[in-house]
Amino acid sequence: MDKERKLIIAGNWKMNKTVAEALDLVSGLKRECKDVKEVDIVVCPPFTALGEVSKAILDSNIRLGAQNMSEHNYGAFTGEIAAGMLKEFSVRFVILGHSERRQYQKESDALINKKLLAAHGASLKPILCIGETLAEREAGQMEKILATQLRGCLSGLPRQQMEETVIAYEPVWAIGTGQTASTQQAQDAHLYIRAVVAKLFDDTVARRVRIQYGGSVKSANARDLMSQPDVDGALVGGASLEDRSFADIVKNSI
C-alpha cells in the first residue's frame, strides 16, 4: 500500500496482562512481526509492565506507548505518573483522551489539552483519541463533536508538535462492541478531521498528521480500513491482546 504517511498500528492493552503475560505477548509479537518495516508498531501495556516490556523490545521494530499520564510534571499527585517517568522506560507514545477515560474519569478536552502539552514538553508523542457516541452520530452531530474535541485538545499546540501528534478517530459506539465503522464512515470522518486540522493549523500539517482508526479492528477488516486514503493506521484494543491477531492486523495492513 503506497501512502505518503507511514502507517502506525498501536495496541492498547488497557488493564490487562501481568508482567509475565506481557512478556509472553511481546515475545510472540517480535517473532511474528520481525520483518515488518512498513508500519510503526506500538504496544501500550499497563504502567506495571512498561519496564520489563521496554527491555524485551530493545533492538526490535516494536515501540513502547503508555495509556495515560498526568498533566503535571511532578509533585503531590498521589497515584499519578508523570511524562518524565515514562521517558525513563523509553516510552515514545502516550494515549491521551481515550473514551474510557473521558467516560469513567470524566476527562475533559481542557485536561487532555494540558496532558498533550506536557507530553510534547517531554518529547513523548501523544495518540489523541477523539470520537462521537452513537446518540451524537444519530443526532447528526458527529462533525460538531469532532471539531469541538480537536479545537479543545489541540489548543496552543505549535505546528511542529501537531505534526508529531497522532490522532485516533474512535467512534465510541465501535469500541469493544464488535461493531466496526464501515470503511466509508471511517474515511469520511478522517477526511473531516484532516480538514479541521488544516483549518486550525495549515494544509501541510494536515497532510502530514497521521490519523488512526479505532473500534473493533480485526485482521478481517484491517485491509479494507487501511486502504482508505485518509486512514493511516489503527488503535486496537481487544485484538491486540493476542500476538497472532495483532500481528495479522499489522501484516494485513501492508
Q: Using CB under 6 A as the criterion, which residues of the chain lie in contact with ligand PEP when the complex forms?
A: 12, 170, 175-176, 214-217, 235-239
| Residue 182 CB contacts under 8 Å (≥ 6 apart), including other chains | none
Burial 207-224, CB ≥16 within 10 A → b, else e: eebbbbbbbbbbbebbee
* Residue closest to ligand PEP when measured from CB atoms: 237
In the numeric block, the cell 501495556 is attached to 45
Instruction: Write down the least CB distance from residue 253 to ligand PEP, Å.
Output: 14
Q: Which is nearer to ligand PEP, 82 or 215 (CB)?
A: 215
Q: Residue 252: CA atoms inside 13 Å, Cβ hemisphere, count?
A: 17
Burial zone of 175 (CB within 10 Å; 0-12 exposed, 13-18 middle, 19+ buried): buried
Q: CB of 53 within 8 A of CB of 75?
A: no
Q: CB of 32 within 8 A of CB of 52?
A: no
Active-site position among 71, 100, 107, 170: 170
Q: Which is nearer to ligand PEP, 15 or 58 (CB)?
A: 15
Instruction: Write down the least CB distance from residue 139 to ligand PEP, Å.
Output: 22
Question: In 3-state terms, what secondary structure has residue 3?
Answer: coil
Q: Which is nearer to ligand PEP, 176 or 229 (CB)?
A: 176
Burial 103-127, CB ≥16 within 10 A → b, else e: eeeebebebbbbbbbbbbebebbbb
Instruction: Tell which residue, 129, 217, 203, 202, has the closest CA to residue 165.
Output: 129
Instruction: Write down the least CB distance from residue 176 to ligand PEP, Å.
Output: 4
170 is catalytic: yes
Instruction: Write down the least CB distance from residue 127 to ligand PEP, Å.
Output: 9
Q: What is the largest CA-CA distance in the chain?
A: 48
Q: Which is nearer to ligand PEP, 113 or 216 (CB)?
A: 216
Q: Which is nearer to ligand PEP, 21 or 155 (CB)?
A: 21
Instruction: Write down the least CB distance from residue 58 to ligand PEP, Å.
Output: 26
Q: Which is nearer to ligand PEP, 12 or 161 (CB)?
A: 12
138 is catalytic: no
Active-site position among 98, 100, 107, 190: 98
Phi, psi torsion values for 164, nearest 5 degrees: -95, 0
Instruction: Write down the least CB distance from residue 129 to ligand PEP, Å.
Output: 7
Residues forming the active site: 98, 170
